[in-house]
Structure 1
């Protein structure tokens, strides 16, 4: 039976964590810019966050597709952590989008 190599899974897990972490950094920077009424920079940072979370999600999805194809994925606490990190950051992105909208409503008229 075909299986994913544990070292390859660990590397993939670290890539998911890295890209999700990058996305988290960008989204919190974006909220900071929005609080300063720099909505253009906030939007640019949210785009970067979106690119990073997409990369993380793609890696995770490709791994899960392998399992669906019958390829064995070894149990890995690191991969579980990577998935938790990914889903948490995805939720944070959704929440921060709403916070940015609030900043735009309460401060947008001063920025043009």
Structure 2
């Protein structure tokens, strides 16, 4: 079961992997501007791997809470969740932008 220290570590992992993913997604968009769609898709795939790592951290907390562990909500965890949710939204938008760039470059 995660302790308070572990919760902080998990929050930092969420921030780290979400931040990495968001940076990769932005790189993907810049590559799409240059019509480097292969490079853009590679960056999106790298971002998805970072998001899997973030999701794994998040899932460990959810599972332990579902098992009866109670946690005090702290601002760091809320901040980490904000990072993750914003990156997931960014991922969806970047994938649509890549699609549109590819479609209009034909």
TM-score tier by shorter-chain length is: over 0.9
**When the two structures are superposed, what TM-score results if normalisation uses the length of structure 2?**
0.95
Give, in angstroms, the shift of residue 29 of structure 1: 0.2
For 2:13, the equivalent position in structure 1 comes to: 15
For 2:95, the equivalent position in structure 1 comes to: 97
**When the two structures are superposed, what TM-score results if normalisation uses the length of structure 1?**
0.90
Give, in angstroms, the shift of residue 66 of structure 1: 0.6
Residue deviations 1:6-29, cap 9 Å, x none? 111111100000000000000000
For 2:48, the equivalent position in structure 1 comes to: 50
CA distance in 2, matches of 1:56, 1:4: 16
Aligned residue pairs, count: 106
Give, in angstroms, the shift of residue 74 of structure 1: 2.5
Structure 1: runs of 5+ lacking an equivalent: none
Q: Which runs of 4+ in 1 moved over 4 A?
A: none
Give, in angstroms, the shift of residue 84 of structure 1: 1.2
For 1:34, the equivalent position in structure 2 comes to: 32
Structure 2: runs of 5+ lacking an equivalent: none
Give, in angstroms, the shift of residue 64 of structure 1: 1.1
Give, in angstroms, the shift of residue 92 of structure 1: 0.7
CA distance in 1, matches of 2:2, 2:40: 39
CA distance in 2, matches of 1:50, 1:6: 28
- Largest Rg, 1 or 2: 1
